[in-house]
């Protein structure tokens, strides 16, 4: 009985993963592209993905922007609040490797706590500045596969 | 009767007016996908036959995306997609048109290492001291460029000289300039 319930939970999770969108610094352009993905043209809701504004309901955490030192603890708290299993998507050049905010010698910026994977573990990287909506869709599909593995 | 046909036509139009784009319809290239921007800038692609490792793309990149590593007898040109802004300056300023931004957009990945695109070239050896120099193709192209804009009276002398001195590194060239008769002073 317990197994069946757990299976049902996993099924429903994969049928409709909920996303929490955490904006950490950045120029807001990636967030506009994320909005475009949610709009009818690149309709991400056909995979069942919905935006939720509470990390406690979320299966996927979508992070945009280089993480400034100011917002690093908040991001950590959001990550801890989300229930297991969870998947983290780093969307945009800033989230993957600090993008234009990084110095060329690799020393890093004084105001940044580094890219997202220095603060919380990242599962899916979506590069681009800003990433195309199609690329974000591809990343969402990869995130679903990761979520199925995790259980 | 005509009105009914019009009505049917409108119905078909209404059905086909769906805005949503198919996905996944198959991955690029070859397979069918319903919507690709024809000149859209996506993943980089090297043409290994044309690329000569001249580092023009590295110098022109505004975001320090492209790195060039010299290790022993090999030179690797690597693009890290995570930093790239897809501005396309490397494509426009490449003298050989070797690097291109293809409209391929499916490059999200689950690991950082997959975001690197690399091209490796073999470097030439200095004839005298055995130190590694530039790739062979780059030397060839340099020789061609030197001979392009030169006066025909001294062209033959230059041709013979370039064959000799492009094989040496800069230090050895200074040392052997008089011994091998490749000093520049003789042209004045």
pLDDT truncated to tens, each residue of chain B (188 aa)?
678 888 887 777 677 666 676 665 544 455 445 456 677 788 899 998 888 888 899 999 888 889 898 888 889 999 998 888 888 899 999 988 899 888 888 888 999 888 899 999 888 888 888 888 888 888 888 888 888 888 888 888 788 878 877 888 888 888 888 787 777 666 65
* Cα–Cα dist B138/B135, whole Å: 5
> Which contacts (CB < 8 Å, 24+ apart) does range B135-141 have?
B135/B52, B135/B53, B135/B75, B137/B51, B137/B52, B137/B53, B138/B52, B138/B53, B138/B54, B139/B166, B140/B52, B141/B52, B141/B54, B141/B96
Query: Which domains are seen in chain B, by residue range?
Result: 37-123 (3.30.70.3270), 126-188 (no CATH)
Q: Which of B18, B42, B108 to mutate to test the interface with A (most CBs of A within 10 A)?
A: B108
Q: How confident is the model at residue A90 (pLDDT cuts 50, 70, 90)?
A: very high
Tell me the backbone φ, ψ of residue B57, rounded to 5 degrees. -70, -35
Is A4 among the domain residues? Answer: no
CB pairs under 8 A between A and B: 80
Which of B21, B42, B85 comes nearest A93 by C-beta?
B85
Is A1 among the domain residues? Answer: no
Contact indicator for A80, A142 with CB cutoff of 8 Å? no
Evaluate the CA torsion angle B62, B66, B69, B70 in order and state its sign.
negative
Domain with A64, as residue range(s), is: 16-150
pTM of the model: 0.82
Is A3 among the domain residues? Answer: no
Which of B64, B108, B111 comes nearest A139 by C-beta?
B108
CB atoms within 10 A of CB B146: 14
Is A69 among the domain residues? Answer: yes
Q: Would you call A127 and B42 a contact, using CB atoms and an 8 Å cutoff?
A: no
Cis peptide before A82 (omega within 30 of 0): no
* Cα–Cα dist B165/B173, whole Å: 7
* Mean pLDDT, chain A, integer: 87
Is A135 among the domain residues? Answer: yes
- ∠ CA B65-B145-B153 to the nearest 5 degrees? 165
Write down the residue that tokens 């919380």 correspond to.
A120
CA distance B48 to chain A (A): 24
- Contacts with A125 from chain B: Cβ below 8 Å: 82, 108-112, 115
Tally of domains within chain A: 1
Is A128 among the domain residues? Answer: yes
Q: How confident is the model at residue A73 (pLDDT cuts 50, 70, 90)?
A: very high
Q: Would you call A127 and B110 a contact, using CB atoms and an 8 Å cutoff?
A: no
Which of A46, A123, A128 comes nearest B86 by C-beta?
A128
- Contacts with A49 from chain B: Cβ below 8 Å: none
Is A52 among the domain residues? Answer: yes
Q: Would you call A100 and B85 a contact, using CB atoms and an 8 Å cutoff?
A: yes
* CATH classification at residue A136: 3.40.50.12280
Quick one: pLDDT at residue B3? 81
Is A46 among the domain residues? Answer: yes
């Amino acid at each position: 009985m317990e197994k069946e319930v757990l299976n049902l939970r996993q099924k429903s999770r994969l049928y409709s993963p909920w996303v929490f969108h955490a904006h950490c610094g950045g120029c807001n352009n990636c967030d506009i592209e994320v909005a475009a993905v949610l709009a009818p043209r690149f309709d991400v809701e056909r995979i069942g993905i919905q935006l939720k504004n509470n990390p406690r309901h979320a299966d996927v955490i979508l992070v945009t922007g280089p993480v400034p030192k100011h917002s690093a603890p908040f991001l950590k708290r959001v990550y801890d609040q989300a229930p297991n299993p969870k998947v983290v998507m780093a969307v945009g050049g800033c989230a993957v490797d600090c993008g234009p905010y990084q110095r060329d010698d690799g020393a890093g910026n004084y105001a940044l706590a580094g890219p997202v994977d220095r603060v919380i573990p990242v599962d899916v990287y979506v590069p681009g500045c800003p990433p195309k909506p199609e690329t974000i869709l591809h990343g969402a599909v990869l995130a679903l596969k990761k979520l199925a593995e995790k259980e | 009767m005509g009105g009914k046909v019009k009505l049917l036509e409108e119905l078909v139009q209404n059905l086909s007016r769906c805005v949503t784009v198919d996905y996944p319809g198959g991955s690029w290239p070859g397979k069918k996908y319903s919507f690709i921007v024809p000149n859209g800038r996506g993943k980089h692609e090297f043409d290994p036959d044309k690329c000569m490792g001249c580092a023009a793309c590295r110098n022109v990149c505004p975001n320090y995306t492209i790195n060039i590593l010299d290790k022993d007898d090999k030179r690797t040109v690597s693009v890290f997609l995570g930093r790239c802004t897809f501005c396309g300056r490397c494509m426009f300023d490449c003298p050989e048109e070797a690097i291109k931004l293809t409209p391929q957009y499916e490059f999200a990945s689950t690991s950082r290492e997959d975001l690197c695109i690399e091209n490796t070239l073999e470097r030439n050896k200095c004839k005298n001291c055995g130190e590694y120099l530039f790739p062979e193709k780059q030397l060839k192209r340099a020789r061609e460029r030197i001979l392009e804009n030169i006066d025909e009276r001294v062209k033959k002398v230059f041709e013979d000289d370039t064959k000799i001195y492009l094989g040496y590194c800069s230090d050895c060239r200074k040392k052997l300039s008089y011994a091998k008769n490749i000093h520049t002073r003789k042209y004045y």
